[in-house]
């Protein structure tokens, strides 16, 4: 099916797949309503962009899109959960910032602000790693990236956090004097 997909073709492909798509999304998201939302949004986006895409196997494309969007939704859901003060220590985030920064006794709200300044890809990887207690292998599967990329994103995010925190505290020290 080339890029010209008719409504009948699309409707026929989706009709037989709806329950399977919901099962796939539900297995990833563990929530019926979120699964329905992801499936609906995915189908709507595919329909809206049908002229721009070159889809050769519509059923396989839809199935893969629901799977990927469910993983992205789950990662975003984890991403938006704010850090609680006692969770930082439990998840090892405070230790990961290195002894120099923890000597400043960084408040959790400041850490959250610093995290929000990171690129989205790095934020997501770091939050999955420390808040979600996921291994690099699990992160790579959830975000559909290589294990090395997952590891690199966490490493660069921690480096940036260290630098940001160090710079912010140096500025505060100058303002106090």
What pLDDT shows up at residue 104?
A: 47
Q: Is the pTM of this model over 0.85?
A: no
pLDDT band at 173 (very low <50, low <70, confident <90, very high): low
What pLDDT shows up at residue 118?
A: 87
The phi and psi torsions of 97 (rounded to 5 degrees) equal -80, -10
| Mean predicted confidence (pLDDT) in 126-140 | 87
Is the Cβ–Cβ distance between 72 and 38 less than 8 Å? no
CA pair distance 57, 99, nearest whole angstrom: 53
What pLDDT shows up at residue 66?
A: 92
Pick the CATH number of 82-176 from 1.10.10.10, 3.40.50.720, 2.60.40.1180, 1.20.1250.20: 1.10.10.10
What pLDDT shows up at residue 116?
A: 85
Of residues 65 and 131, more confidence is placed in 65
DSSP 18-77: HHHHHHHHHHHH--HHHHHHHHHHHHHHHHHTTTT---S-HHHHHHHHHHHHHHHHHHHH
Residue 29 structure tokens:
């998201």
CA pair distance 94, 91, nearest whole angstrom: 8
- 7-78: CATH topology: Rna Polymerase Sigma Factor; Chain: A (1.10.1740)
What pLDDT shows up at residue 53?
A: 76
Where exactly are the structural domains of the chain? 7-78, 82-176
Q: How far is residue 30 from each of residues 27, 33, 112, 161, measured CA to CA in Å? A: 6, 9, 27, 32
Q: What's the mean per-residue pLDDT of the chain?
A: 78
Q: Worst-scoring range by mean pLDDT, 21-30, 64-73, 168-177?
A: 168-177
Of residues 141 and 171, more confidence is placed in 141
pLDDT over 70 percentage in the chain: 75
CA pair distance 31, 37, nearest whole angstrom: 10
Q: Worst-scoring range by mean pLDDT, 64-68, 74-78, 90-94?
A: 90-94
What pLDDT shows up at residue 21?
A: 93
DSSP state of 107: -
């Amino acid at each position: 099916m080339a890029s010209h997909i008719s409504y009948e073709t699309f409707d026929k492909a989706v009709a037989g797949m709806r329950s399977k798509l919901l099962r796939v999304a539900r297995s990833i998201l563990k929530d019926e309503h979120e699964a329905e939302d992801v499936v609906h949004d995915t189908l709507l986006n595919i329909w809206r962009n049908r002229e721009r895409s070159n889809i050769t196997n519509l059923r396989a494309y839809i199935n893969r899109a629901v799977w990927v969007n469910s993983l992205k939704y789950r990662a975003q859901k984890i991403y938006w959960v704010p850090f609680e003060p006692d969770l930082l220590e439990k998840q090892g985030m405070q230790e990961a910032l290195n002894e120099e920064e923890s000597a400043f006794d960084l408040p959790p709200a400041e850490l959250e602000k610093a995290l929000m300044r990171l690129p989205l890809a790095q934020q997501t990887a770091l939050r999955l790693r420390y808040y979600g207690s996921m291994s690099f292998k699990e992160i790579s599967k959830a975000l559909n990236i290589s294990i090395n990329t997952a590891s690199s994103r966490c490493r660069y995010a921690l480096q940036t956090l260290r630098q940001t925190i160090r710079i912010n505290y140096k500025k505060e020290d100058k303002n106090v004097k």
